[in-house]
Amino acid sequence: MLFGLQLSAQAEVKLKSNSYGRPGYGASMTVQVIGKEIFGPVRFVQELPPGWNAKSLEKKQTGKLSQQGNLLRLLWLEKPVVDTLSFTYELNIPESEKVGYVSLTGKLEYFDGQGNKRSLKCEPTQLRIIPYFSRYQ
């Protein structure tokens, strides 16, 4: 699934998922930041459900992922000279998570070309939690 919110032609943030996850396993997520008038530091903040954890799936670290409690932060101190930033991470879903849908969203903070601090919310992404089935059950 792909959801995004565009404030102007200058900036856009999208949150992508593989659309499902299983309790006790992970679900990959990608944050994509698009825009020419975005300057660093650039930060994406996401509140995770209780008990969820995240880890980076990036081979080449373009940004830094950190988590304190349920708050996930992605930080690019300086935006590389590209129009699109992306960062892929895995959400570890606790075994106790119930089957159903979990709404995930986030907020992008950056500076525009005039040095003004900007904030942009991402539309919610629905992550479907499905039961784990084994052919050996």
Single out the residue of 105, 97, 101 nearest to residue 124, CA to CA: 105
pLDDT number for residue 135: 53
Q: Which two tokens stand for residue 70?
A: 């349920």
* Domains of the chain and CATH, by start: 2-123 (2.60.40.1290)
Q: Residue 60: its pLDDT value, please? A: 79
The predicted structure's pLDDT at residue 62: 78
pLDDT of residue 6: 38
Q: What is the pLDDT of residue 133?
A: 67
Q: What is the largest CA-CA distance in the chain?
A: 60
Report mean pLDDT in 10-residue bins for the chain, 137 residues: 43 84 92 86 94 90 90 87 85 94 94 91 92 61
Can you give the pTM of this predicted structure? 0.83
- What's the confidence (pLDDT) of residue 47? 95
Strand-strand pairing, 117-129 and 20-21: parallel
Q: What is the C-alpha R_g of the chain?
A: 16
Tokens of 37: 């008038």
The answer to whether 119 and 13 are in contact (CB under 8 A) is: no
